[in-house]
Chains A and B, each alone.
Chain A
Amino acid sequence: MSKHHVTTTINGEAVEFLCETQETLLDVLRNTLNLTGSKEGCASGDCGACSVIADGTLVCSCLMLGVEAEGRSITTVEGIADGEKLHPIQQKFLEHAALQCGFCTPGFIVAAKALLDANPNPTEEEARYWLAGNLCRCTGYDKIIRAVMDAAAELRGEARAA
């Protein structure tokens, strides 16, 4: 079978690419489109480092075929900031020192964005369960959770939490 020709939208831009059936969306993002912000930590949906938002739904790009992107709208970590202006979640990750090595960070940023889009006022417990599919080995999650809660407060227009 020849390669699939896929037309899709990535971070708001129309994109076309060719892929084999077995190539995952993550493979395509990283190897074909040079969008290497999405990371491969496990390739089995267990670590969340490849998280992207597909038509508003948080998914692991390692568990979606590239060909399935046809006609859909994908947001990757590269599309979270508004040009040079960081998204409040990104800003809070910096302010709270919520990253150490930074490898899991793109996945967390994308997953946190999906969380706050769906639930602008999560409890700490809700945030922890929502983010349970994103593994971080460096931080013990403490500062990540604080950053997400603080970003939620800022997005709600409240004064700085914590």
Chain B
Amino acid sequence: MPSLNYAAPTSVQEAIALLAGAAGLAKPMSGGTDLLVQLRSGRLKPDLIVDTKHIPGMIGIREESGGFVIGAATSGATLEAHAGLKAAWPGVVEAMDLIGSEQIQGRASLAGNLCNASPAADSVPAMIAAGAVAVIVGPKGERTAPVESIVVSPGRTSLARDEFILAIRLPARPAHSGDAYLRFIPRTEMDIAVVGCGVSVTLDAQGVCTAARVALGAVAPTPLLVADAGAALVGHTLDDATLAKLDAAARAACKPISDKRGTIEYRTKVAGVLARRTAAIAFERAKGGVVKGH
């Protein structure tokens, strides 16, 4: 009977050696909330699970040059409890918080959500909008890559088999900045996003947008950074014409499929709706408002 091995390395080097040296398929595991489901269903048949949670730096949040470094296996519940992170990047924290139940939040992580490489991952559009960067370790040492470069197709990442994510870095926030994430699901909880949208903006003192990043989830094979949607915001306040342009840009970027969770038409329409609604929250936050996201 083929047996599944497990290792819990306590250093990056040890983990890399395990991943590189494994005879068959080796999978890094942080929270395991996706991995264990795939294991149980037989969709994934690894030979080795490398539990990364005992590696120093994998769990915890620290502030660094105005930004944040979030250990790759840090749980959603830990993010939610971090007041500083929540104040700076409420959209990212909310996006993470939307994944599954409280029980899932006790285990699931930003990096795990990213590496699961689902087009519908909630935290990924929020991280992309935030300009988040993944710190990746492998045999050649450490490298960084923008979050939008990690997912290459459904279920596949740009990481080599002997690489894993050590941390997610969120940049420092200029004044008058705000982010938000909204997703559409049929129920109020416990669903996979039909569409997800992350927006991060910086405004000038008059409330005119000077920088914007808009990202969409579940409308294409990978989460999308929608440059046109961001461009539609820059130089404007959120007037009706700007909202209409944003809506159109978001819809134009969609290349969705029809599946059990939504049709092409519906996903495209809702992408525009969510872009407007998410931008409105991000703008309010940039102006200093405290807005409940969901």
Contact = CB atoms under 8 A, between A and B. Distances in A.
Interface stretch (A10-18, A19-27, A29-37, A81-89): A19-27
A41 interface: no
B71 interface: no
A20 B32 contact: no
Chain B binding surface, main DSSP class: mixed
Contacts of B106: 54, 57-59
A45 interface: yes
A48 B40 contact: no
Interface stretch (A64-72, A97-105, A137-145): A64-72
Chain A binding surface, main DSSP class: mixed
A37 to B, nearest CB: 16
Contacts of A133: 100-104, 189-190
Contacts of A43: 40
19 contacts: A1-B5, A21-B3, A22-B4, A45-B36, A45-B101, A45-B103, A51-B103, A57-B106, A58-B106, A59-B103, A59-B106, A60-B104, A60-B107, A63-B32, A64-B107, A65-B36, A67-B6, A129-B188, A132-B189
A6 to B, nearest CB: 11
A91 interface: no
Contacts of B4: 1, 20-22
Contact of B51 (A22, A63, A68): A68
Nearest to A19: B6
Interface residues of B, number: 29
B49 interface: yes
B87 interface: no
A114 interface: yes
A45 B102 contact: no
Contacts of B37: 44-45, 63
B33 interface: yes
A150 B127 CA distance: 39
B39 interface: yes
A116 interface: no
A4 interface: yes
A28 interface: no
B103 A4 contact: no
